[in-house]
Every structure is written in structure tokens, then in C-alpha cells.
């Protein structure tokens, strides 16, 4: 017959290891999942500067602040070249550093802009008719 079960240090280590291995690891794209999408009314989409702002997402910042950053970015962009202008990466937009990617055709283009300041992040997409 066997004796009573005793907890040994090895059992504690094995139990802790089982807990660690059973907990899910953060996905590689976990940072992207932290973005919160802001709601935009139909009328509001045309008030940010370009023809249409199609989406705004924020992380560690309110949607109200995110919308302020989007407006400031487009003021900077049009001040440096008009409708097709670009906001220089050396310019701070309300304390944020912004990067833009574009694509399109001769009469219109779409852009995706990511503005960061530490952990704060504002990402928006837009369409501009030229």
C-alpha cells in the first residue's frame, strides 16, 4: 500500500511550469489588437481636411484627441504642398511623429497615416480627390 501524498519542491515547480505553459502567449500582432476604432458620423468624415477620412483608430489616447491629431496632420500636409502635399517627418504634429503611406491614381489617392508619441498612437485612413 502507498503512503499519503506529500508535496515536494519538485511538485511545486512542475505545477508552476504547467500553469505557465497553459497560459496563452501574446500573439505577434497583439499591439495591433489594442487599437480602438473611433466612430465617425457621415457628416464628420469630410471635416478633417482631405475629401474623406475613412477610419480613425487610437491606442492610449481618447478618440477626441485622435481626431485633433488627424486635423492637425492634414493642416500640416496641405501647408506643405497643397492637396497633394506631405507633412515632413521632421515636423511634430501636436507632439506626434507621423508616417504616411499612399497609393492611388491620377485623380485621387488614399493614404494610411500612423502618428505616435511614446505609447500613444493614432492611425487613420483617408481618400483625397485631386
Q: Which pLDDT does position 76 carry in this prediction? A: 96
DSSP lists the bridge partners of residue 57 as 37, 123
Encode 77-102: b = buried (16+ Cβ within 10 Å), e = exposed: bbeeeeeeeebeeeeebeebebebee
* Three-class secondary structure of residue 105 per DSSP: coil
Q: Which pLDDT does position 2 carry in this prediction? A: 57
Q: Render pLDDT for 34-72 as a digit per residue (tens, 0 to 9).
A: 899 999 999 898 889 888 999 999 999 999 999 999 999
Q: Render pLDDT for 4-39 as a digit per residue (tens, 0 to 9).
A: 555 555 444 334 334 333 444 444 445 555 899 999
Helices (H), 24-86: 30-33, 63-79
Rounded Cα–Cα distance for residues 116 and 80 (Å): 20
Whether the CB-CB separation of 80 and 87 falls below 8 Å is answered with yes
Is residue 18 exposed (0-12), middle (13-18) or buried (19+ Cβ within 10 Å)? exposed
Q: Render pLDDT for 68-113 as a digit per residue (tens, 0 to 9).
A: 999 999 999 999 999 999 999 999 999 999 999 999 999 999 999 9
Amino acid at each position: 500500500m502507498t503512503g499519503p501524498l506529500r508535496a515536494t519542491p519538485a511538485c511545486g515547480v512542475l505545477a508552476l511550469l504547467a500553469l505557465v505553459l497553459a497560459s496563452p502567449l501574446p500573439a505577434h500582432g497583439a499591439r495591433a489588437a489594442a487599437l480602438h476604432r473611433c466612430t465617425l458620423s457621415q457628416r464628420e468624415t469630410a471635416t478633417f481636411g482631405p475629401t474623406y477620412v475613412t477610419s480613425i483608430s487610437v491606442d492610449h489616447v481618447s478618440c477626441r484627441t485622435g481626431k485633433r491629431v488627424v486635423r492637425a496632420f492634414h493642416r500640416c500636409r496641405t501647408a506643405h504642398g497643397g492637396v497633394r502635399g506631405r507633412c515632413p517627418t521632421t515636423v511634430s504634429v501636436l507632439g506626434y511623429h507621423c508616417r504616411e503611406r499612399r497609393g492611388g491614381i491620377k485623380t485621387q489617392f488614399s493614404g494610411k497615416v500612423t502618428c505616435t508619441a511614446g505609447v500613444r498612437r493614432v492611425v487613420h485612413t483617408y481618400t483625397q480627390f485631386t
